[in-house]
Structure 1
Amino acid sequence: MDVLMPQLGETVAEGKIVKWFKQAGEAVKPGENLFEIETDKTSMEVPAIAAGTLSDIRFQVGEVAKVGAVVAVIAGAGGAASAEIRPAPTVNASTKLQSPFAPAKAGAQAEPKKELGPRFRGDERGRAQAPEQTNIGARDFAYPDMSPWREVRTPERNYGPAKLGTGTYVTPLARRLASERGIDLNRVSGSGPHGRIVAADIAAAPRAIEAAPAAAQFYLVADVEIGRLLVMRDEAKAAGVEFSIGDFAVKAWAAALRRANPQAGSDVALVLDSDGRRVTRIIRDAAGKTLTAIARQTREPDDGAPSVSAVTAVRVLAAPGIREFSSIVTAPFTSVLALGEPRRAPVEAADGGVRFVSQMTVTLSCEPRAIDDTQAAALLAVFKSLVENPVTALI
């Protein structure tokens, strides 16, 4: 038996094979899915309508077949036929089929006119009938309608509703592409009939930042010497002024942002852990504030969720022993600078020997649609220089 490429619409001339559920040589039963096809208008799973062995697959996954083309062959027994479809009589040497155009024999009673079943009428009249009227219970497979020309609906594979809240319709292929590429369909203008969104519209649509997956972010890592910073911190503490490495990182990061773009704002969020929960402090115009003012502001009592105006943040993790970590960038931030725990680390000396230094590993997480890797690398290099020479961050 030849398995044909079905037509999913009057204007559809071909379909793409996206999956085979059976392999060549495997047995198939009526009702078992053979393959899945996809067009710009719809997608469906095509079941077998006869039992046998899938002897040949003529179109592989990813290939496009014209409507009516033989995509596979089922060999062997055809299985039990349904009550609506009767097998053709066997023709042999002792049996002759009467021509439908031959006149009826005298006295023969005319055969009553038979009405086509709902599978061949193309309507839904047979749906409401009871099982005993449709003979469904007599079938040996679960599907009530095995016509390969009828769409098999699979809502869980539709990648979202076909109709948006705005009333715009979206084709199955467009929904699938939008889901895979992280595109917000509400931001896409449809070019199809009556404004329908089609696959070509997805290819031309920009990806929304809020829909970007975490895998789309990129990360830059740098080891920063903090020996001079620790000395300055100890001297300030002896003079009655206390600040943390996180406080200084906010100042240095804001200074790096201001030097990269003097017209840009320098609001920086400090994200830290307090009493077992995450707390966000917004330091506005951190580049213009003194280190003492920043340290005082980060220690103010938490009065609830702040009004976030910063687009970048410094993240300090309270867990000890974490050498480095990467923060996931979430709205409204477009970059996060994560500070690892300070440590003593061996480095190569100028004479080729080994010396130990105080070091901290920082990881910069970036949203690529807000900042590219070249800009991010330049910012991180300036930050590293300011931390390793802390006085330069204060002038």
Structure 2
Amino acid sequence: MMDVVMPQLGETVTEGTVTRWYKKAGDAIRADEPLFDVETDKVSSEIPAPVAGVLTEILVPEGVTASVGTKLAVIRESGASAAQTAGTASAAQPSTRAGTASTAARSKPPRADAAERLSPVVRKLIAEHDLDPRAISGTGRDGRITREDVLAHLSQRGAVRPVAASVEAPPLIPAGAAAESAPLNSVRRRTAEHMAKSWSAVPHVLQAVEADFHKVEQARRVAGDNWKRREGFSLTYLPFILRSVSIALAKFPRLNASFAGDHLVLQPRINLGIAVDLNFEGLVVPVLKDVPQKSLPQIAREANELVQRARTNRLKPDDLTEGTYTITNNGAFGTLITAPIINQPQVAILSTDSIQKRPLVIETEGGDAIAIRPVGMLAQTFDHRAVDGAYAAAFLREVKMLIEGRDWVQALQA
């Protein structure tokens, strides 16, 4: 027998809400097949089955919030005796789909325990607007309050809120202009909340250096078509940057750290988060773990796999945890320099922008010369509580020296 428990989708996450079961009690399931969806105040994720077998029991139905580690369901593994779980599956079935779609959609009066039955997302939304959950009618299972219920309540409250007759607010848009309300999706909303919290709580400082990617470009040209033919994807600048940052962080551990209260915790592992844009609808940051222990080709393969899974909503819970430093890249859009917001509780984040051919002064045996080189900015935002400017600048200089000075052709053959 295998217990399915509520996963921890983030280092500070303590609970999650089951939003969908893909199977019902008694159904067969394959290992790694989607089993259920869970939503927290940080992320929404599809959770795969840990083993193959039969889903014998569902203990936490859709719409219910449970603490991390709570037993959600039971799977009888393939080959296990059916007698071990006789009667269990049939007893669990009624709890998985109570009621009908029509009754679930009707608004129900608020229950006395409404405040204790809120999902993390709904609880945060109610707290932000200083609402009383007992005043909100829920349309979810058993009268549970959904995010849409809160938004509808806010809309109604705004519509009837009295305005003093002597005060006339100026129009925000020209008279007659058409305005469109664009509600935020869950990923965009969580991104906005996290960024606003970080910006308001952390003293951000930006520093940047210009790096010559000539040797990186040489390695990419040498690998070229052979790499893409063999691996199935193009070799970008990202793995070279990941490798350089991981080496530099080993020398500057105070940037590979996080805050815990008034303490700075230096992390023993170097796990690099890669910010991935989800078609302009928000960001997700999968984590490439233990980067210094990986070869450059391995970094390239694993980073590409993480990015592709992020863009197709196939990330696993473990892909989103234990990050110690984050890298974001807007270079595909031609940006010159970006000032990124720190991904708390981390203390620094690096932005890599577009790499363009530019005239650059280089040293030769005959003296200084002008050469056309691929050049890009490396911009780091750091938490001034963790380090001072000199320390952060020395780290940036180290990353620059690694990018410009390593034999990347040789590194690709490792």
Shorter-chain TM-score: which interval?
A: 0.3 to 0.5
Query: Could you say which structure has the larger radius of gyration?
Result: 1
Larger relative contact order (Cα-Cα within 8 Å, sequence gap ≥ 6):
2
TM-score by length of 2: 0.41
TM-score by length of 1: 0.43
Which is richer in helix?
2
